[in-house]
Homo-oligomer: A and B are copies of this chain.
Amino acid sequence: MSTLNDGKKKVTIYSVAHEAGVSLATVSRVINDSSLVKEETRKRVEEAIVKLGYRPNAIAQGLALKKTTTIALVIPDSSFLYMGKIINGLLDVAKIYKYNIALHTTSSSINEMSEIIDNIVKSRADGVIVYNDCLTEQEVAVLNSFSTPMVYIGHKIKADEACNVFVDYKKALYELTDKYIQEGYKDIVLIEDKKNPMMMDELLQGIKKGFKKHNKEFAGLIEIPDNYHNSYDYLNEYFKDNKHQLVITVRDSQAMAVLNACTENGISIPEETDLVCVMDSRYTDMVRPRISSFFIPSYDLGALAMRVMTKMLNDDEVKEKEYQLSYIYKNKASTKV
Contact across chains for B59 and A63 when beta carbons are under 8 A apart: yes
In the complex, A79 has a CB within 8 A of chain B: yes
Residues in B neighbouring A5, C-beta threshold 8 A: 141, 144-145
Docked CA distance A285–B256 (Å) = 10
B105–A91 touching, CB < 8 Å: yes
A119 surroundings in chain B (CB, below 8 A): 100
Q: How many copies does the complex hold?
A: 2
Q: In the assembled complex, which residues on chain B have CB atoms less than 8 Å from the CB atom of A85?
A: 80
Minimal Cβ-Cβ distance residue in B for A286: B256
On whether A80 and B77 interact (CB within 8 A), knowing A59-B59, A288-B263, the answer reads no
Question: Does A266 belong to the interface (CB within 8 Å)?
Answer: no
Min CB–CB distance A230 → chain B (angstroms): 12
Query: Bound state CA distance, A244 and B260, in angstroms?
Result: 28
The CA of A73 and the CA of B63, in the complex, are separated in Å by 23
**A147 at the binding interface (Cβ < 8 Å):** yes
**Per-residue interface assignment for chain A, residues 80 to 111, with 1 indicating a CB less than 8 Å from any chain B CB and 0 otherwise:** 11011101100100010000111111000000
Interface residues as binary, A36-76 with B (CB distance below 8 Å gives 1, 0 otherwise)? 00000000000000000101111110110000101001000
| A217 contacts the other chain (CB 8 A) | no
- CB contacts (< 8 Å) of A103 on chain B: these are 73, 87, 91, 101-103
Chain B contacts of A68 at CB under 8 A?
59
The smallest C-beta distance from A224 to any residue of chain B, in angstroms, reads 15
Judge if A228 is at the interface, Cβ distance under 8 Å: yes
Shortest distance in angstroms between A88's beta carbon and chain B's nearest beta carbon? 6
- Whether, in the assembled complex, A124 has its beta carbon less than 8 Å from a beta carbon of chain B, the answer is yes
Q: How far is the CA of A77 from the CA of B302 in the complex (A)?
A: 14
Tell me which residues across on chain B come within 8 A of A101, comparing CB atoms: 102-103
Give A residues with C-beta under 8 Å from B: 5, 8-9, 53, 55-60, 62-63, 68, 70, 73, 77, 79-81, 83-85, 87-88, 91, 95, 100-105, 112, 115, 118-119, 121-124, 141, 144-147, 228-229, 253, 256-257, 260, 263, 282-283, 285-288
Known: A56-B122, A58-B124. 12 other contacts (CB 8 A): A5-B141, A5-B145, A58-B122, A59-B59, A80-B80, A80-B88, A91-B104, A91-B105, A95-B115, A100-B119, A102-B103, A256-B283
Closest A-B pairs by Cβ, 5 of them: A80-B84, A5-B145, A256-B286, A8-B147, A80-B80
